[in-house]
Structure 1
């Protein structure tokens, strides 16, 4: 079960990187301005290190699945729903980088009607729930903290960019 779930999540990330690259090229053609170049490599590194830590901790401690797998799996599925609802709501504007196309309207559909940064919430939940499912507690706590620090930086950068360029 571990390897199946891990491969699903890694495959999702790789597909998302391909979509992000396509969207980045499209945004640049439309005159996009990039913000947050300095913190972006740290976000990429954090996600790679998350998977390494998750695999390592699970292999070393071999605790197995959580005693309440149905609850955590349900939460993960709901989190995936929020994540993809967010991505599809942004459509071609979704990216792993902060790219702002000048003079565009903010997207306020889907979960963006109610939550300012729903994708970041979904990622935070994933980084906690996925290791929790296999009792990788150190990974769950460490990467929840690392992600919180990076997301706070990123949200400040993103909000400044959106305020400057969007209606």
Structure 2
């Protein structure tokens, strides 16, 4: 049995679960405080639940592109001679999560602006507060579509920031 690989796998699983739960919890609390102060999930507002599910799925998709880069840093710290300190792992992880959270905000904001431009005279937030399920579904579907389109670009940006060791070009 490869104990180093097994240890690395458990660290990656724990890290992914911890980061995901923390980010989703913070995102939900921000969403609730900023946009829907008086609406709760338990109030039989299906529109709010659908809208919240769309945002959580969007953030989950973005996190699924960031977590592998964070685990790559952990792998690098365990496998290279140039030891990456725990502080550096935290710094890179924080940077990646900040970039991901920034993109989540940009994607959510752009979806709201796009939807507002497409539907003049419709206030999405008021419709969702009034339990208009059709508005919540369309906004959530638009949000997920844009997230799916942008996720590979976010992944490329994050992976470009991973501090991989320099490789020499042996062909030259």
TMscore range, shorter length = 0.3 to 0.5
Tell me the TM-score normalised to structure 2 length.
Answer: 0.32
- Higher-Rg structure is 2
Tell me the TM-score normalised to structure 1 length.
Answer: 0.33
Quick check: which one's helix share is greater?
Answer: 2
